[in-house]
Amino acid sequence: MRLQKVLAQAGVASRRAAEDLIAAGRVEVDGSIVVEQGLRVDPENAVIRVDGIRVVVKKDLVHLVLNKPRGWQSTMSDDLGRPCVGDIVSERVAAGQRLFHVGRLDADTEGLLLLTNDGELAHRLMHPSFEVPKTYLATVKGVLARGVGKQLKAGIELEDGPASVDEFALLEVHEGQSLVRLVLHEGRKHIVRRLLDAVGHPVIRLVRTNIGPVALGDQRPGTLRVLGRNEVGGLYQAVKL
């Protein structure tokens, strides 16, 4: 398929505008800038970038955001019959999509869970070496003393080794509880709960609001949304794909 048509089908621009992008040297196919028009590419295998950002042109790739409700398991099926993410995507799975959830949230944790059928993307997003930042809002017991943020940034010794946060902010204090925002780039089990426990502020409610360039926004619990082209491009960029 011709490159300008592939770009148009991926929603980058009209065919005419895609030709302008190509002529301007802004389009890269498999690592090389292409300036001539009409290059034939295979959308199933070509790696295409516009201004250095990956444009996913493979038709069957899916990237979804779920706002996982509290009390739901992150798994695609549950032996004990508890509500799980697989229930929410059951129609897609029945239609043959092989979706992976990117990491897990505790059953008690709400918020942003990415689902995709791109195994390499999922793998890299879960790998700490790519350092994709994840943001959480936590309501904790107690009124935070000064210095707790500093302590968390400096690192805390947990039973499976040290852990730290990249950013920390106290947002609100209300009736003996504090609302804090934390950014971390790792995903060990219960990591946020364990860190906050360790500084004496057990978690009452935990919500993940962002993973790299993707934000939960006002998406309602239990709903799925297809990621936008820029969000998908940003995710691939974040893990160097």
| Residue 118 known to be catalytic | no
Q: How many helices (H) and strands (E) does the chain have?
A: 8, 15
Is the CB of 57 or the CB of 192 nearer to ligand URA?
192
Interface residue with ligand URA, options 78, 87, 106, 166 (CB under 6 A): 106
Give first-to-last CA distance, the chain, whole Å: 22
Instruction: Select the span of 17-25, 146-154, 167-175, 186-194 touching ligand URA (CB under 6 A).
Output: 186-194
Give the range of 31-39, 44-52, 64-72, 188-196 binding ligand URA by CB under 6 A. 188-196
How much helix, strand and coil, in percent to the nearest 5, is found in the chain? 25, 30, 45
In whole angstroms, how close is the CB of 84 to ligand URA at the nearest point? 14
Work out which of 67, 109, 135, 209 binds ligand URA, going by CB under 6 A.
Answer: 109
Which of 126, 192 has the CB closer to ligand URA?
192
- Residue of the chain from 18, 191, 232, 235 that contacts ligand URA (CB under 6 A): 191
Examine residue 70 and tell whether it contacts ligand URA (CB under 6 A).
no
Binding of ligand URA by 141 (CB under 6 A) = no
**Number of amino acids touching ligand URA (CB under 6 A):** 8
Which residues from 192-221 bind ligand URA, rule CB under 6 A?
192-193, 206
Residues contacting residue 120 through CB under 8 Å, at least 6 positions apart: 241
DSSP code, position 84: B
| Residue in the structure block whose two tokens are 């820029």 | 230
- 125 within 8 A of 239, measured Cβ to Cβ: yes
Kindly indicate which of the ranges 8-16, 23-31, 50-58, 104-112 contains the residues binding ligand URA, using the contact rule CB under 6 A. 104-112
Query: Which segments within the chain are labelled E, that is strand?
Result: 27-29, 32-33, 48-50, 53-55, 63-68, 100-101, 110-116, 134-141, 156-158, 161-163, 167-174, 177-184, 203-211, 214-215, 224-226
Contact (CB, 8 A) for 73 and 56: no
Distance CA 41, CA 56 (A): 13
- Minimum CB distance to ligand URA, residue 111 (Å): 8
Binding segment for ligand URA among 6-14, 119-127, 173-181, 189-197 (CB under 6 A)?
Answer: 189-197
Kindly list the catalytic residues. 106
Binding site for ligand URA (CB under 6 A): 105-106, 109, 190-193, 206
